[in-house]
Amino acid sequence: MAKLKKTNQRSISSLESVHRMVDETEKHLQLPHGLVERIKACNSVFQVVFPVRFEEGYRLFKGWCAIHSEHRLPSKGGIRYDLSVTQSEIEAMAALMTYKCALIAVPFGGTKTGLCLDPRQYSDYQLQRITRAFAVQLARKGLVNPSGNVPAPDMGTSSREMAWIADTYRTLNPQDVNALACVTGKPVSQSGIVGRSAATGCGAHFALREIFNHPKNLKKFNLKKGLKGKKIIIQGLGKVGYAAALKLQTVEDAKIIGVIERDGAIFNEKGLDVEDIKAHLTETGGVKGYAKGRFTPDREGSLEKPCDILIPAATSRQITIKNVKRIKAHVIAEAANAPISYLADQYLNKAKKMVIPDIYLNSGGVVVSYFEWIKNISHISFGRMEKRFDEIKGHQISEAIEKTTKRKISSVLKQNLLHGADEIDLVMSGLDDTMRRTHQELSKIFHDHPRIHDLRTAAYYIAISRIANTHLEMGV
């Protein structure tokens, strides 16, 4: 059994956890003295305090924007609305975004923005007032703009808030032809991109598919090939968790045996219907009362149930020194940001469990955000120019096949040949390719480097190397 050092885990913040991971990775790199400290340092942090007037009077709101790195521009990161938002957490998430973008070779720096509030306590009208006021504060300081800092939805926000921010920025900057590129994750009707809302979950599905089809992974962790029949517990059935669970169930035929939510968890060893649970959750606000599963109010204990894959897709620091010894899952896939603390991660590695790190597994959102940003600054939808050309080409190919073979091809094959790529086809193809290519790079380091024995260190090795090379090549 792996042993944990006797360290006060509560004294290690998320930011310190990220820094320690970078320090661990530095041991495997040969970089000039001080460069890693430069990479770790957050470029700038802004605190914003602003009033919003409601019928009962004024309320003050506090938020932060941390710009961790501008080695690539624009910087990219989510805007979250949550009562747990602190400056330290925002800095940690900004750093993770820098490393995530570098790992998946998306040319962005890293940033994060947060507002300390519970969006469920406000009406839609009030949230719009708050969001627009926040956007004004950010825009005036250059913290929202298409070429410098491009936010996206995060916890507590959605495409709706992004539309409000984009409209506010465009009102303040009517001369900016690229104004709508100031945020991503917008509604499709407001120059968003098809597939963005499900992108992070779909990316997690692609990543898990690659992981479970790699022979060296299977041998190293004694896993069976493929996702079919794998028993999965997922924490959080929001945008990320729902999309991932649905794909794993419908495409891979995996078995979702447990869903953990705010009010507790439900289990069924025979498998749960993800869409049915989501409908119940939308209607009631929780999983309690769902008739086709066994309910328990013990959320923390539910993470410790036996399964093949545990997917924390809710909030950070869910697996810590307090509960890590009781985690029975063979594979832990970080769909949320930093759901495993630093020391817990060390323990899981020593216990020979596979941890798929967040900066790889949940990177699908920023991949598709990159596509949306490109779409906005190019001012043309993906597939618009080539779709009809592809259809004509497919028709010519089908005719050539039938003429050569003197046989009619099947209607299904003909339909596939005649189908020109839509935006969603191109987006999912690009996302799939990114996750596949990144996994190939990760696997090479993970399995071939003599001193790297976990995927997180392999991921940071690639990310830090790329950021360092950028600095060195630019002479900064």
Residues annotated as catalytic are 112
Measure the CA–CA gap between 7 and 11, rounded to whole angstroms.
Answer: 9
Amino acid sitting at position 342 = Y
Find the DSSP H helices in 112-152. 124-140
Measure the CA–CA gap between 16 and 28, rounded to whole angstroms.
Answer: 19
Measure the CA–CA gap between 358 and 335, rounded to whole angstroms.
Answer: 6
Measure the CA–CA gap between 46 and 41, rounded to whole angstroms.
Answer: 15
Per this entry, what is the length of the chain?
476
**Beta pairing class for 264-267 and 75-81:** unpaired
| Residue 349, Cβ density class (10 Å: 0-12 exposed, 13-18 middle, ≥19 buried) | middle
Q: Phi, psi at residue 355, to the nearest 5°?
A: -110, 120
Instruction: Note whether 168 and 397 are within 8 A (CB).
Output: no
Core vs surface per residue 198-231: b (16+ CB within 10 A) or e = bbbbbbbbbbbbbbbebeebeeeeebeeebeebb
Measure the CA–CA gap between 423 and 430, rounded to whole angstroms.
Answer: 11
Instruction: Note whether 364 and 204 are within 8 A (CB).
Output: yes
User: Per the omega criterion (within 30 degrees of 0), is the bond before 74 cis?
Assistant: yes
Q: Which residues pair with 331 in a beta bridge?
A: 309, 354
Amino acid sitting at position 153 = P
